[in-house]
Amino acid sequence: MKNIQKSLLAALIVAGYAVNTQAAVTGQVDVKLNISTGCTVGGSQTEGNMNKFGTLDFGKTSGTWNNVLTAEVASAATGGNISVTCDGTDPVDFTVAIDGGERTDRTLKNTASADVVAYNVYRDAARTNLYV
């Protein structure tokens, strides 16, 4: 019984010692934040979570027209060109990607019939570098 009492007393002393030896620790943490250059697309609007950059308008032509039609994107906000403006002096890389459009197959559909017109979008004015 004396051994149990001595062990219990020793445990209480150690427990009391552990509680009494706690100390506040202070220190310093260095913080770094590197804000990189950013870009904005001017002339665009948003609709929900979708950016509306503008309209690629091929104009009006007859159904028998078989020559190449050209068009430029007109800004959704201003009707002019879309601009990309970047802050800072470092060059900022960005990528322009064009997919198959709302119909996913690069065709324009007549709303009154099933007729479609196929189109392509090129990276250059000479129409040699097709967006895939």
pLDDT, tens digit, for every residue of 38-55? Answer: 777 777 777 777 777 778
CA R_g for the chain: 34
Domain residues for 100?
96-132
Rounded distance between C-alpha atoms, residue 77 and residue 66, angstroms: 32
Q: Which two tokens stand for residue 65?
A: 């027209």
Determine the average pLDDT of the residues in 80-87.
76
Domain membership of residue 82 (yes or no) is yes
25 part of a folded domain: no
What span, in angstroms and rounded, lies between the C-alpha atoms of 71 and 69? 7
* pTM listed for this prediction: 0.46
pLDDT in tens, 7-23: 555 555 555 555 555 67
Q: Within a 10 A sphere around the Cβ of 105, how many other Cβ atoms?
A: 10
Please report whether residue 106 resides in a domain: yes
In this structure, the answer to whether residues 123 and 85 fall within a common structural domain is no
Contact 96, 54 (CB under 8 A): no
Contact 32, 45 (CB under 8 A): no
Mean pLDDT of 93-100: 76
When the pLDDT of each residue in the chain is averaged and rounded to a whole number, the result is 74
Question: What pLDDT was estimated at residue 37?
Answer: 64
Give the bridge partners for 44, in sequence order: none
Total domains in the fold of the chain: 2
pLDDT given at position 6: 56
Please check whether residues 49 and 76 belong to one and the same domain: yes
